[in-house]
Amino acid sequence: MANVKAITSRDNPLLVRLRKLVADPAGYRRAGEIWLEGEHLCAAFRDSGGVPTQAIVTEAAWDEPRWRDLAAAAATVVVIPQALMDGLSTLESPAPLGFVVPWAGGGAPEAGVASVVLDRLQDAGNVGTILRTASAFGVTQVIALKGTAALWSPKVLRAGMGAHFRLRLVEGASHDDLERLHLPLVATSSHGATPLSDVRLPWPCAWVLGHEGQGLDAPLLQRCALTVTIPQPGGEESLNVASAAAVCLYEALRQRSAK
């Protein structure tokens, strides 16, 4: 049975702490905790076996069985007025429920595991979409190199739609950390490479995706065992990195299924 308490003051230390956490996309690294907002993310975390430290729920939602049952997954439930929840929300239409969950840290790459490597990607939407795509197509590990958008920021979490809880996530990795994978690195290029459909793709492997404007760091590209290109007969110079990831991961799945 969860411990339930009510908070009505904006100056309560818990709410002050959470507002600071929400205001900084990478604040979870210092705080050691993550803010999950909304039914989908909170349910995905619960369904993955996670136990939230705290559930923050509005007074109105606490009176509804649907929200009460979800909030009860937490060790402690804090009931607050809607106006205070508005101050915690990163959404235009604030959700009536959020979880505070522990952050496990940056982690280290696991060897031999099908992976996606993010090299300095900046757009949170792209990063979250890639996580969701990786999970959908059978990749189990995503490694963010230093300079990549914070994986557990609110915007990345929203775009990931719960994929975070189905993946092994590593943050702040270096080029040398990729040696631990003991896997071929596969890169994409907009020119001068073999078309994706003409290549027998290795599995497992690590797909390496580069910065939206600059592409892959040159020394990292040199480490890649294979570079492929996605044909674009329509004449575009390049694809959005999240779109490119989806095409590549689907082709890898298609080839595995064909075998």
Any idea where the domains of the chain sit in the sequence? 3-102, 115-258
What is the tens place of the pLDDT at every residue in 124-169? Answer: 999 999 999 999 999 999 999 999 999 999 999 999 999 999 999 9
| 243: nearest Cα among 162, 144, 130, 132 | 130
Across the beta sheet with 185-188, the strand order is 168-173, 141-145, 115-119, 206-210, 185-188, 226-229, 194-195
The pLDDT confidence band at residue 193, using thresholds 50, 70 and 90, is confident
Q: How far apart are CA 97 and CA 39, in angstroms?
A: 7
What pLDDT, on the 0 to 100 scale, is given for residue 152? 98
- Give the model confidence (pLDDT) of 180-189 as tens digits: 999 999 998 8
Could you tell me the pTM of the whole model? 0.94
**What's the pLDDT score for residue 2?**
73
Residue 30 has pLDDT above 90, yes or no: yes
124-136 vs 241-258: helix crossing angle, rounded to 10: 10
Structural contact between residues 95 and 41, judged by C-beta atoms closer than 8 angstroms = no
Tell me the mean pLDDT in the region 206-226.
Answer: 93
Number of other residues whose CB lies within 10 A of the CB of residue 79? 21
pLDDT digits (tens, 9 = 90+) for 47-94: 999 999 999 999 999 999 999 999 999 999 999 999 999 999 988 899
Q: Is 95 helix (H, G, I), strand (E, B) or coil?
A: coil
Give the CATH number of domain 3-102: 3.30.1330.30
Q: Would you state the pLDDT for residue 192? A: 67
Percent of the chain with pLDDT over 70: 98
Return the closest-CA partner of residue 25 out of 138, 122, 133: 122
Quote the CATH superfamily of domain 115-258: SPOUT methyltransferase, trefoil knot domain (3.40.1280.10)
Dihedral angle over CA of 127, 104, 161, 45, nearest 10: 180
